[in-house]
């Protein structure tokens, strides 16, 4: 397993990170602990979660993922692991999270206390804003609409509160998720201007079907020393090829159709078919091709992968040793030019 430093931080993390959003919905606590044990045995030291998990989010299951991880984490050597979690933002109707989540001082302090208690730890290594407090187009929406602007907590206020967590030792580093180039630049500008902690990471979707990060965000993050933690590298299972063979195949797309809307786009099946073909010609599984591609991009800090079975997790982690040939990369680029970002 390769290890990398995330952004401008001192966090040395495995190039593959264990995502946990299935824990508590598709996976039992026993399943979760088995996945955690196996991932660590294969060199994974980076675990990502969130206060709103599992997915699909429901009042009946909210916070369950952090609780499962905490019951496992209390038996582990804490200093050998990098634990990341996230505070939920507004605008998704989660009234069961703090009566309607916001990213202001009151909510930030309440959210971290809840996460620390559930995770059974005194600190988290990386604390992320799951999505912005302000309006931004996200989760499949691609066009900014100024008429959708709403009242939001100023970035400076968010940074002041996060800085308090860093000062007390409850949080080591801070990061963003589902952010835009303007958001990254504003967080960096405010941190420099006010002498507050800098963001070190951004957790955004990145896969063969969604390479939009490569435009404005790649440049901004390069100059700002912000590392990408890429999520959905398998595009909700599309890049395994299983939905080509059976559109009703068991998975998040069929279990939670309203949660994978960004993949309900015209060119997703056609592009996926080409990537599956490229994988087969390279002697790789489609999932291995997709994960190896995301892992080997110059701007990638770590690839967040998730699985519902140990067999899937084993295949995914095996991709850590795969390097794609120039011929395979050229074939990927040809397909990307023909089907650019079908699931942004």
- Beta pairing partners, 297: none
Sorted by sequence, the CB contacts under 8 Å of residue 218 that are 6+ apart come out as 299
Q: Residue 75, class by beta-carbon neighbours within 10 Å (0-12 exposed, 13-18 middle, 19+ buried)?
A: exposed
For 31, 53, 107, the CA distances from 312, given in Å and listed in that order, are 13, 20, 36
Peptide bond into 176 cis (omega under 30): no
Residue 96 is predicted with a pLDDT of 94
**Which SS3 state, helix, strand or coil, does residue 49 take?**
coil
Q: What is the DSSP letter of 11?
A: -
How far apart, in whole angstroms, are the C-alpha atoms of residue 162 and residue 111?
11
Q: Say how many domains are in the chain.
A: 1
344: in domain: no
Let me know if residue 257 belongs to a domain. Answer: no
Within-domain flag for 124: yes
Which pair of structure tokens corresponds to residue 123? Answer: 């600190």
User: 128-150 pLDDT, tens per residue?
Assistant: 999 999 999 987 778 899 999 99
Q: Helix, strand, or coil here: 132?
A: coil
| Domain at 140, CATH number | 3.20.20.100
Question: Going by DSSP bridges, is the β-strand pair 16-19/171-177 parallel, antiparallel, or unpaired?
Answer: unpaired
Q: Round to whole Å and give the CA distance between 337 and 322.
A: 24
Report pTM: 0.96
Q: 112 near 83, Cβ under 8 Å?
A: no
Q: What is the extent of the structural domain holding 190?
A: 3-237+296-323
- For the annotated catalytic residues, the residue numbers are 53
Q: Residue 264: what pLDDT?
A: 83
Residue 343: the pLDDT is: 93
Question: Residue 78: its pLDDT value, please?
Answer: 98
Q: How far apart are CA 184 and CA 273, in angstroms?
A: 34
Q: How far apart are CA 239 and CA 276, in angstroms?
A: 7
The answer to whether residue 120 sits within a structural domain is yes
- How confident is the model at residue 248, as a pLDDT? 82
286 lies in some domain: no
Q: How far apart are CA 114 and CA 91, in angstroms?
A: 21
pLDDT digit of tens for each residue in the chain (344 aa)? 999 999 999 999 999 999 999 999 999 999 999 999 999 999 999 999 999 999 989 999 999 999 999 999 999 999 999 999 999 999 777 999 999 999 999 999 999 999 999 999 999 999 999 999 999 998 777 889 999 999 999 999 999 999 999 999 999 999 999 999 999 999 999 999 999 999 999 999 999 999 999 999 999 999 999 999 999 999 999 999 999 988 888 888 788 877 777 888 899 999 999 999 999 999 999 999 999 999 999 999 999 999 999 999 999 999 999 999 999 999 999 999 999 999 99
The per-residue pLDDT for 142 is 81
Per the CB < 8 A criterion, the answer to whether 317 and 17 are in contact is no
Distance CA 262, CA 344 (A): 7
Tell me, yes or no, whether 26 lies in a domain: yes
For 259, the token pair is 């949660």
pLDDT at position 260 is: 73
Q: How far does Cα 130 stand from its chain's mean position?
A: 9
pLDDT score at 21 = 96
* Count helices and strands in the chain by DSSP H and E runs: 12, 10
Residue 281 makes CB contacts below 8 A (sequence gap 6+) with 328, 331
Q: Is residue 331 part of a domain?
A: no
Residue of 205, 196, 99 whose CA lies nearest to 157:
196
**Structural domain includes residue 267:** no
> Could you give phi then psi for residue 40, rounded to 5 degrees?
-65, -35
How many residues make up the chain in this entry?
344
φ, ψ at 257 (rounded to 5°):
-60, -30
Could you tell me which residues are beta bridge partners of residue 275? Answer: none
């Amino acid at each position: 397993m390769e290890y990398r430093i995330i952004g401008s931080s001192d966090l040395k993390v495995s190039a593959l990170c264990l995502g946990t959003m299935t824990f508590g919905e598709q996976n039992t606590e026993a399943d979760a602990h088995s996945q955690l044990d196996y991932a660590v045995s294969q060199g994974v030291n980076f675990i990502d979660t969130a206060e709103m998990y599992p997915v699909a989010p429901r009042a009946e299951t909210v916070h369950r993922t952090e609780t499962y991880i905490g019951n496992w984490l209390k038996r582990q050597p804490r200093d050998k692991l990098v634990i990341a979690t996230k505070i939920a933002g507004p605008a998704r109707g989660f009234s069961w999270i703090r009566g309607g989540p916001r990213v202001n001082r009151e909510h930030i302090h309440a959210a971290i206390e809840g996460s620390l208690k559930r995770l059974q730890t005194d600190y988290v290594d990386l604390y992320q804003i799951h999505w912005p407090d302000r309006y931004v187009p996200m989760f499949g929406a691609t066009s900014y609409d100024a008429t959708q602007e709403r009242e939001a907590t100023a970035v400076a206020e968010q940074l002041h509160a996060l800085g308090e967590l860093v000062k007390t030792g409850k949080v080591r580093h801070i990061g963003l998720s589902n952010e835009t180039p303007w958001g990254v630049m504003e967080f960096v500008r405010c941190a420099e201007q006010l002498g507050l902690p800098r963001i070190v990471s951004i957790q955004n979707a990145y896969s063969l079907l969604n390479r939009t990060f490569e435009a404005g965000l790649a440049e901004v993050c390069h100059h700002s020393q912000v590392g990408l933690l890429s999520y959905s590298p398998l595009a909700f299972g599309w890049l395994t090829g299983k939905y080509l063979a059976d559109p009703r195949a068991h998975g998040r797309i069929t279990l939670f159709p309203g949660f994978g809307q960004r993949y309900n786009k015209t060119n997703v099946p056609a592009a996926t078919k080409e990537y599956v073909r490229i994988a087969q010609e390279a002697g790789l599984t489609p999932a291995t091709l997709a994960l190896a591609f995301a892992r080997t991009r110059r701007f990638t800090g770590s690839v967040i992968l998730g699985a519902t079975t140990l067999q899937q997790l084993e295949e995914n982690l095996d991709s850590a040793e795969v390097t794609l040939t120039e011929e395979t990369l050229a074939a990927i680029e040809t397909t990307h030019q023909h089907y650019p970002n079908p699931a942004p």
